Amino acid sequence: MPTVFQPLESPQFRKYFGAAVLSALGDGMQMIAMSWFLYQRTGSVASISLVLVVQTLPGLLLSPLAGALVDRSRPQWTCVAADVVQGLVLCALVLAIYVDQWVLPAIYLASLLMAVCRLFSLPALGALVRDISTRESLLSANILSSTTLQIGMLCGASAGGFLVAQIGAMNVILANAMSFFVSAVFIAWVRVQAREPRAPAATGVPLTQELREALVYARRHPFILWLTLVDIFDTMAINMFNALLPAFVSRELGGGPQDFGLIEGAWGGGALLGGILLSYVVRRVDQHRISVAGPACLSVLILFFLAAQTTAHAMAGYFVLGIFVCAVGINTNALLAAEVKPAYFGKIKSFIYMCTSYAGLAVYGILSLVGDRVSPRWIFASVSALVMTGFLWKLWRLWRARQAQTGTAEAAAPTE
């Protein structure tokens, strides 16, 4: 099996990796800036939840269309276009904050537009990583690709809390806008040659028929449906923490933006380690088994985090959560890239994104109603119980399948 750093031997992957690291650093800083800015301006969890609700809407409405279009287009230029648009949107948002006019509506609109861009860029990035990597190095490439996000959380989020306190949220958001423009230049610089055919751009086949075929393909491959559920659990947990962490730090821990940034940075450090550990674990454990065990670990670790009474305890809990959530997420992406046919890859990724968007909408809707009335600890406990229920359901399904297999083998055995 290739080492985790082998994809970096490719000049094309190094260009992509540099662009992704830069963009992730900006995103990590902005997440701290935007969440803290909103919470300080409104004093309400509901305002943060509303932004997150807005971010899920494109996934609810446009995911199938986005996946089909990505399968018909060149992923590289989809990524470039998404980066440029997001940079322009953030520049406009900084202007709205600077003149102090329609600030909250501008934040919601910017969140919506950037979510539309991410809707197209996420499956395109997955396809781009696949196209510039060999099949043997796909897991390592996905680990490094995910590592860029964790570097953003570790360095960007940690620095973000201090930068917000020193130079203000507006300047941090502007820095993220610049990172998108530079990222677009690096992605455009990558030379891509698709290794497997994608869906042709002009086949005469309606998009609706392509989508139906993708759903049939997913139903015929049960591992896709389970990976979808695993991704939903991971995304629900991340969404919950994104919405509640500012309030948890302020109300439960009595901390400020520096504490918020340190805790978010701990997640990034754990996630960075999780990707590296995964490259060694998969040499001894089947990737499908990792996907089964992931939700159980997530459920237990949420309980460990919610018991935090100090910033150090919360950092430790978030660090370990980052390890497992990142490892399971990378494992899911690698399985999809390796086992889903390229003609269906974008549509399957968008289908999963649509499902996680519905789950996210449910989480944000509930948090908008109860987030200011119920302790974050009780909400964390409820999500932990839900995730454990999903894990137990999967174990029951596996047990039923094994029983059915045993019964079939006994029925087929010759009798004397």
Exposed / middle / buried, residue 304 (Cβ in 10 Å: 0-12, 13-18, 19+): middle
Confidence of residue 153 (pLDDT cuts 50, 70, 90): low
Which pLDDT belongs to residue 282? 84
Q: Residue 387 corresponds to which amino acid?
A: V
What pLDDT does 376 receive? 86
Q: Is 374 helix (H, G, I), strand (E, B) or coil?
A: coil
Distance CA 19, CA 17 (A): 5
Q: Which range is most confident: 51-65, 300-314, 365-379?
A: 300-314
What pLDDT is attached to residue 408? 67
**In b/e form, how buried is each residue of 244-277, taking b as 16+ CB within 10 angstroms?**
bbbbbbbebbebebbbbbbbbbbbbbbbbbbbbb
The dihedral region occupied by 406, where left means phi > 0, alpha psi between -120 and 50, and beta the remainder, is alpha
For residue 135, being part of any structural domain is answered with yes
Quick one: which of 158, 377, 141 has its CA closest to 249? 377
What backbone torsions phi and psi does residue 196 show, to the nearest 5 degrees?
-135, 150
Would you call 222 helix, strand, or coil by DSSP? helix
Per-residue pLDDT tens for 225-262?
Answer: 888 899 889 888 887 887 788 888 888 888 887 788 78
Contact 116, 56 (CB under 8 A): no
Higher-pLDDT residue of 281 and 214 is 281
Calpha distance 321→301 (Å, rounded)? 6
Amino acid occupying residue 242 = N
* Residue tagged 């996210």 (tokens): 360
Dist. CA 318–CA 245, nearest whole Å: 11
What band does 22 get if pLDDT is binned at 50, 70 and 90? confident
Query: Is 104 a domain residue?
Result: yes
Report residue 198's pLDDT band, with 50, 70 and 90 as the boundaries: low
Q: What are the distances in angstroms from CA 368 to CA 37, 53, 250, 362?
A: 18, 9, 18, 10
Residue 415 reports pLDDT greater than 60: no
Residue 198 lies in a domain: no
**The domain containing residue 83 runs over which residues?**
6-192+207-412
pLDDT of 409 over the 70 cut: no
| Inter-residue contact 94 to 190 (CB < 8 Å) | no
pLDDT surpassing 60 at residue 1: no
Confidence of residue 209 (pLDDT cuts 50, 70, 90): confident
pLDDT given for residue 413 in this prediction? 58
pLDDT band of residue 410 (cuts 50, 70, 90) is low
pLDDT digits (tens, 9 = 90+) for 353-391: 788 878 877 877 787 778 778 888 898 899 899 999 989
**For residue 199, is it within any domain?**
no
Is 74 domain-assigned? yes
If pLDDT is split at 50, 70 and 90, which confidence band does 206 have? low
Average pLDDT over residues 174-179: 89
Of 129-138, 327-336, 354-363, highest mean pLDDT: 327-336
pLDDT, the chain, mean: 81
- CATH number, residue 323: 1.20.1250.20
In angstroms, the CA 172 to CA 154 distance is: 16
Domain count, the chain: 1
53 in a domain, yes or no?
yes
What is the mean predicted confidence (pLDDT) over 16-42?
81
pTM: 0.65
What's the confidence (pLDDT) of residue 86? 94
**Whether 202 contacts 325, CB under 8 Å:** no
CA distance 197 to 192: 13
- The predicted-structure confidence for 185-194, as pLDDT tens digits, reads as follows 999 998 876 5
pLDDT at 202 over 90: no
**Dihedral (C-alpha) 256, 257, 263, 264: value to the nearest 10 degrees?**
160
Token digits of residue 355: 């499902």
Measured distance CA(187)–CA(143) in Å, rounded: 19
- Is the model's pLDDT at 295 over the cut of 50? yes
Q: Residue 90 pLDDT more than 90?
A: yes
Residue 39 lies in a domain: yes
**Residue 316 is assigned to a structural domain of this protein:** yes
- Residue with more model confidence, 50 or 171: 171
| Residue 189: other Cβ atoms inside 10 A | 15
